[in-house]
Structure 1
């Protein structure tokens, strides 16, 4: 999905072991482990005349992780992928040295009926030495991802390693993304279960952290590895994400990520000159914002 002018939330605040903001990057925290951008899609009602159509746009230096909670999307890219994504499954596109893609409401769902679209578009920066690899695409069905329960609380390991389990998603760095849903008040264990920096995205409900109540729509980022306990209030739904941070700074401009400003400048010129590979049969073109 295209980053239409990166929005940086300035109202981040400090509650002790965590920083709290609306999304990443926010002012005090640019990345969480290798995660560099998280976009919350919806929930929004999709209906006739208002279908989701993200036209052809480029990426370099990152992997995109699409995770739908409701609704479906069709992904197409310049390496020939045509992949529908449904709730709970994962689309993982490794941009590497350069790829273009589109994301649209599937054709068979454009029949005038209404449905909700709700999900997350996540960007994970590639390690410096892998920024120029050939593009790849991987899809993992929901039932293949590790899932388990602690009492009535449900866990799903979307990516990486956590809680003694490993996702089959072929990631390129030390990271994790875990979905947690709890119908009742639940004390979540973080210490020793997840390695590296920890982010918490509150999808629904609220959590207690460091004697503060944090409501849905917010994101927490740990400042220390040994964080305070987190308590999920009843009927809460969160995403845990993060991992080992890179040694080098990452630069981001529009849909381009790299440790090198020169690589980003080269990608900007390449897109302006229409030098990126194209999605077959698609002539759409998203103009890069100045």
Structure 2
């Protein structure tokens, strides 16, 4: 009998000139641990006339995690942050009570040449008692993340705790995000290594789990203690997401996440009235969408 709770297929959509594949939220699975939103950006080729330009938009009640494999993104926000995101580094922005930001291809890559871009844009919901905490920003260079080799595969602990290690990224609830790259076939062990719910995102290659062959572009969802033996096939690239789920549900509208609908309505009004925390020296503005995604 399969212990896989669900296999979610990546659904593609366009955001401007950038193609993304949404993994969660999914109609039958809104969250994996505290992770409430996972978008796969690319892979795509940008330049010389097509770039990533996400105008000023708001967030509440969550932390954003940006993790790139290829390309670069310039992050600016209403806290005054200006940070270039490079492959392997982690941008962790905690919105809390409210923050606005933009994400753009940096000027250094707008040079008439073409380049590859790929990565993940992730939202982690905040615990109920911290949903209205002060916003903050934290950047962790790639070389500061824990890295090790296990069963011949290369592991990186991007955020949270797992495999007896802890990432320096400042998370606010028990969670994990682990990147795994393997050129050879190996058996992946998660029981006793991680805790809570788990999503195994297959960015490249494939796995065999509970009698199922699962290819890239899918995410396998389970509970860590219920997960069966997992064979990772040669030439695979995985991301493991998850952690302890919250006791309460989360509501989501556009870029707003909260345990209470009233907080989302308040944020919507502030954004529509432009009384939300806004960036200096950036007059761009993404209006509220007409309906929920």
Report the TM-score when normalising by structure 1.
0.94
Deviation at 1:150, TM superposition (A): 1.6
Deviation at 1:223, TM superposition (A): 4.6
Contact 2:25 2:36 survives alignment (8 Å) = yes
CA distance in 1, matches of 2:232, 2:274: 48
Q: Give yes or no for the alignment of 1:18 onto 2:5.
A: yes
Taking a change above 3 Å as real, the CA distance of residues 287 and 189 of structure 1, as seen in their structure-2 partners, is same
Taking a change above 3 Å as real, the CA distance of residues 144 and 183 of structure 1, as seen in their structure-2 partners, is same
Contact 2:151 2:187 survives alignment (8 Å) = no
Contact 1:17 1:224 survives alignment (8 Å) = no
Q: Give yes or no for the alignment of 1:164 onto 2:151.
A: no
SS in 2 for 1:257: strand
Please name the residue that 1:127 is paired with.
127
Give me the CA root mean square deviation: 1.1
CA distance in 1, matches of 2:260, 2:200: 29
Stretch deviating more after TM superposition (69-78 or 148-157): 148-157
What does 1:154-233 align with in structure 2 at a 5 Å threshold? 154-223=154-223, 225-233=225-233
Please name the residue that 2:113 is paired with.
113
Please name the residue that 1:65 is paired with.
65
Contiguous gaps of at least 5 residues in structure 1: 1-13
SS in 2 for 1:122: strand
CA distance in 1, matches of 2:259, 2:151: 43
Please name the residue that 2:267 is paired with.
267
Contiguous gaps of at least 5 residues in structure 2: 10-22
Taking a change above 3 Å as real, the CA distance of residues 15 and 53 of structure 1, as seen in their structure-2 partners, is farther
Taking a change above 3 Å as real, the CA distance of residues 162 and 188 of structure 1, as seen in their structure-2 partners, is same
CA distance in 1, matches of 2:250, 2:63: 14
Q: Give yes or no for the alignment of 1:56 onto 2:56.
A: yes
SS in 2 for 1:225: helix
Deviation at 1:277, TM superposition (A): 1.6
Stretch deviating more after TM superposition (278-287 or 253-262): 278-287
CA distance in 1, matches of 2:200, 2:223: 12
CA distance in 2, matches of 1:110, 1:215: 34
Please name the residue that 1:248 is paired with.
248
- Write the deviation string for residues 108-141 of structure 1: whole angstroms up to 9, x where unpaired: 1100111111000000000000011110000000
Q: Give yes or no for the alignment of 1:47 onto 2:70.
A: no
Contact 1:42 1:117 survives alignment (8 Å) = yes
- Write the deviation string for residues 140-184 of structure 1: whole angstroms up to 9, x where unpaired: 000000000124310000000000000000100000000001101
Report the TM-score when normalising by structure 2.
0.93
Q: Give yes or no for the alignment of 1:93 onto 2:80.
A: no
Please name the residue that 1:3 is paired with.
none
CA distance in 1, matches of 2:7, 2:281: 43
Taking a change above 3 Å as real, the CA distance of residues 130 and 93 of structure 1, as seen in their structure-2 partners, is same
CA distance in 1, matches of 2:151, 2:243: 26
CA distance in 2, matches of 1:198, 1:63: 19
Please name the residue that 1:74 is paired with.
74
- Write the deviation string for residues 190-240 of structure 1: whole angstroms up to 9, x where unpaired: 110001101111000001110111000001110562210111100000000
Q: Give yes or no for the alignment of 1:284 onto 2:271.
A: no
CA distance in 1, matches of 2:185, 2:115: 30
Deviation at 1:57, TM superposition (A): 0.1
Please name the residue that 2:17 is paired with.
none
CA distance in 1, matches of 2:268, 2:195: 35
